[in-house]
Structure 1
Amino acid sequence: MSAPPSARPSYAAVLRVPHARRTFAAALAGRLSYGTAPLAVLLCLTRATGSYALAGTVMALSGAVTVLLSPLRAGLVDRYGPRRALTPLALVHAGLLAALAAVSAAPGVPALASAALAVAAGAFPPPLGPTMRAVWSQLVDDPRLLQRAYSLDGVAEELLFVSGPLIVGAVVHWAPPAAAVALGALLLVAGTVAFVASPAVTGAAPRTVPGRPVRRPGTVRALAAPVLAAAGAGLAVGALELLVLAFAEERGYGDDAAAWVLAALSAGSAVGGLLNGAVHWRLSARARLPLLALAPGAAVAVAGLAPGLAALTVAAAGAGLFIAPALTTAYLLADESAPPGFRTRAGAWVNMAVNAGGSAGAAAVGALVGRLPLGLCFTMLGTVCCATALAAVPFGPSRGRSPVPQQPSTAPVAPPG
């Protein structure tokens, strides 16, 4: 049930929507695992294999499996409902993490066993983020309030990925990395169980018939714009992270200086996300999406001209200022364009595009740095980001559902993803 429309919907109004706080808190608890588990698993693998290169390769494989299978996992939620899909996925993923923690803590276990468990775990993380975003779209009828809800969700997720490594650092200060992996597994199961038990989720029923594929003509074309824009934003972040490290090393600033620049990127994204939710946009989501996605790429290109660390920090913060708004708008447009029974997958495709773009940006920087002047690397990667964002412009309006349902619903009918 949505809160009544207001002239200036606030973030507090989002949390006053019936069942919103309980559902959102449970989803965040489960998603915190995604902020803690990667670093904890990497530390476990490093201990088990004795090689940073091998541990990094295993993590890359695990990440690739996670990204490539994300639409399939989201499709399970659309087809069978969140309780029947999310709970088994969470239990399998947490079980594999727990097995990895046990194997890593046991002496004399082959490193291949830890590597296999890490890659297998990458296939099963439940799509809590996409599902929560689709739940928002069912709980909130007012499009202005929905924009605030998505912005709040995006900023909260950003904070989870910032705080997750800090939690792991605190745990490994007193215990082995296996304890941090076990903590991630516990958070995931507890959060997922609490999430599917929420009244906002328990009433959901899949709109598709199990075992029967649903054909949605035009859905792929409608999703092209948000997917391309999200890929461009992810590319900008992935490229900028490594470019900043290369800049700091080339200028002799040290790794701690690079950390401050990347912190400015995250802070800018958080501020931009909050501002985006507060603005009453006159442009439609489809019209403003390319503009918002274009800005991070332009900031990356301009960052190559930075004479020193201070200017680079300002450029990074400027890029971050548009990252969260671009991604929030991409998710909004994907949900608006998706027909019933496809919303979880629509959000998952956008999420996959962000991750794939980030990986592509990091890989491209790794291939270019050292072979070309650093300033040229900034310009080239920023230009590619801009081109990716502009590629979203030609795609016409979607034929999905209206962003404002005619009849308010009291619970999500299709499990959002």
Structure 2
Amino acid sequence: MSSYAAVLRTPHAARAFGAALLGRLSYGIAPLALVLAVKQGSGSYAVAGTVMALFGISSVLLSPARAALVDRHGPRRALAPMAALYGALLVALAVICLLGGGGALQLGVLGTAAGACTPPLGPTMRTLWSELLADRRMLERAYSLDGVCEELLFVSGPLVIGVLVQFCHPAVGILLGAGLVIVGTLALVASPAVRAMQPSPGRPTAAGTKGRAPWRPALVAAGVGLGIGAVELLVLVFADAHGRASAAPWLLGALSVGSAVGGLVNGAVHWQRPAAARLALFAVGLAGALALAGAAPGLFTLAGAMVLTGLFVAPALTTAYLYADELAAPGARTRAGAWVNTAVNAGGSAASAGVGLLAGRLPLAWCFVLAGLPALCSALAVRSSRGARADAPRPVSGTPADQPGPRPTADR
């Protein structure tokens, strides 16, 4: 834990990180609140699901484009307008839902527009970590801490909405999400760490990297996303088949606990292997854990398998972001991280649709095995590629962990 404390003792890091987390809490609150509010306002699950799908698709697909704006114009000029538009559109959706009006078309247009304006606070914060920390080991710890906190935000967000809807209209949750992202973003861009960041006005290469293949971390991230998205539905099917559908949230909670523990351990370990090798290793571990989950005879053993699976989730995603940062050109770091984020979310969405078709046609054990197969295949593809074998680990600074030192330049 002293290693993580050293990360937060870095000048201006704690303030910027706290602001980014405050804004990112909106992403754990607003989506569920939007679904519940639209359902209550329109009286239709179909409309609510469509609005949520449009919101998610526009947010995920346009994430690299928004991140490119941050790289090109700097966080201060790019993030504040995005947050203002995002917040205003969420407020409009909340007001329409509170008044019980608005047709499906109007709600869909507003939901799509809101998703398109989502500020890329996560990718920006990871770029900021790279700017703040010259020591490679410290950067790995910062990325692990960031990933674990993000996991906790997405777990706590629905809990907040669950309490909120007991006392007021779900649209209040949308307003809360709008307020969080505006306050958090403004606090982030006002921090000294962000003020010191310089935009990269030059147009980066099409790949956004220094001649290295940017698809490698994104490919593994997509495989991991497919596994995560599949297991969320498979756990529900498993619990329902054992007559305990109500146990599904607890089983998914076990997955989150394992992910948090794995992320903290990953950041505390001084790894000798380069990021590319670790990324493949974690993806293979995830695939193996999912195969074991398919062999679980009951709910308690599946809970243990979910903890084991989670141990590989946060380390895999953290390492994917770290690897993307290694490959990124100086003016494309935020966009490189956004591509990984897009790959994870796209993989999860695709898995939700695919597993629904497979669960009724194949034995459940085979469905778990197939859920891990994309992660396994992507890991093998990354390790077999000539570019991955050529990647050397970035030199570790010889300065003490909590002292500034020269920034390594390998793979930059």
| TM-score when normalising by structure 2 | 0.92
**Does the 8 Å CA contact 1:336/1:400 hold for their aligned counterparts?**
no
Instruction: Find out whether 1:313 has 2:303 as its counterpart.
Output: yes
Alignment partner, residue 115 of structure 1: 108
Alignment equivalent of 1:37, drawn from 11, 30, 35: 30
Question: Which residue of structure 1 lines up, in the alignment, with residue 214 of structure 2?
Answer: 223
CA distance in 2, matches of 1:130, 1:304: 34
The number of equivalent residue pairs is 401
Given that 2:208 and 2:328 are in contact with CA atoms closer than 8 Å, whether structure 1 keeps it comes out as no
Partner of 2:330: 340
Give the CA deviation at 1:310: 1.1
Cα drift, residue 18 of structure 1: 0.1
Match of 2:132 in 1: 139
* Residue aligned with 1:173, SS: coil
Q: Which residue of 1 aligns with 2:410?
A: none
Counterpart residue type for residue 360 of structure 1: A
Q: Tell me the equivalent position of 1:361.
A: 351
Structure 1 residue 44, shift from structure 2 partner: 1.1
Q: What residue number does 1:192 align with?
A: 185
Amino acid at match of 1:361: A
The reply on whether 1:48 has 2:41 as its aligned counterpart is yes
What pairs with 1:295-314 in structure 2 (closer than 5 Å)?
A: 295-314=285-304
Task: Look up the match of 1:3.
Answer: none
Give the secondary structure class of the aligned counterpart of 2:116: coil
Q: Does 2:345 match 1:352?
A: no
For residue 332 of structure 1, report the CA deviation from its aligned partner: 0.8
CA distance in 2, matches of 1:241, 1:182: 28
Note the alpha carbon deviations across 1:11-60, whole angstroms, 9 max, x for none.
Answer: 00001000001000000000000010010001111112212233112212
Partner residue of 1:96 out of 83, 89, 99:
89
Residue identity matched to 1:31: R
Provide the secondary structure at the position in 2 that maps to 1:393: helix
Instruction: Provide structure 1 residue ranges, at least 5 long, that are not aligned to the other structure.
Output: 1-7, 413-417
> Partner of 1:267 in structure 2?
257
TM normalised by structure 1 equals 0.91
Amino acid across the alignment from 2:288: A
* Aligned-residue offset at 1:220: 7.3
> 2:184 and 2:148 mapped to 1: Cα distance?
19
> Would the aligned equivalents of 1:103 and 1:113 in 2 still touch at CA under 8 Å?
no
In 2, distance between residues paired with 1:365 and 1:342?
A: 35
- Distance, in Å, in 2 between the alignment partners of 1:301 and 1:221 is 32
Correspondent of 1:252 among 227, 231, 243: 243
Q: Deviations over 1:227-265 (max 9, x none)?
A: 1111111111101000000111112112x2111110000
State the partner residue of 2:225: 234
Q: Where does 1:64-213 land on structure 2 (aligned, <5 Å)?
A: 64-209=57-202, 212=203
**Contact 2:209–2:332 (CA under 8 A) maintained in structure 1:** no
Q: Which amino acid aligns with 2:128?
A: V
1:48-92: CA deviation from partner (whole Å, max 9, x where unpaired): 221223311221222111111000000000000001110001100
- Work out the CA distance in 2 between the residues paired with 1:140 and 1:325: 19
| 1:415 paired residue number | none
2:93–2:111 CA contact under 8 A, matched in 1: yes
The one of 373, 377, 384 equivalent to 1:383 is 373
CA gap of 1:305–1:354, structure 2 versus 1, over 3 A, is same
Q: Does the 8 Å CA contact 1:33/1:184 hold for their aligned counterparts?
A: yes
Q: Which runs of 5+ in 2 are unaligned?
A: 408-412
- Of 280, 284, 296 in structure 2, the residue corresponding to residue 294 of structure 1 is 284
When residues 272 and 52 of structure 1 are mapped into structure 2, their CA distance, relative to the original with a 3 A threshold, is same
Task: For 2:95, give the aligned amino acid.
Answer: A
Match of 2:321 in 1: 331
**For residue 17 of structure 2, what is the aligned residue in structure 1?**
24
Closer, same or farther in 2 for the Cα pair 1:260/1:216, shift >3 Å?
closer
Identity across the alignment (%)? 57
Q: Secondary structure at the match of 1:370?
A: coil
The one-character-per-residue Cα deviations of 1:282-326 (angstroms, maximum 9, x if unpaired) are 111111110011111221122111111111111111110010011
Residues in 2 aligned to 1:218 and 1:144: alpha-carbon distance in whole angstroms: 22
Maintained 8 Å contact 1:338/1:400: no
Q: Closer, same or farther in 2 for the Cα pair 1:392/1:399, shift >3 Å?
A: closer
Distance, in Å, in 1 between the alignment partners of 2:20 and 2:83 is: 12
Deviation digits for residues 193-227 of structure 1, max 9, x if unmatched?
A: 00000110012221223xx5645586574322211
Following the alignment from structure 1 to structure 2, what is the Cα–Cα distance between the partners of residues 23 and 94? 20
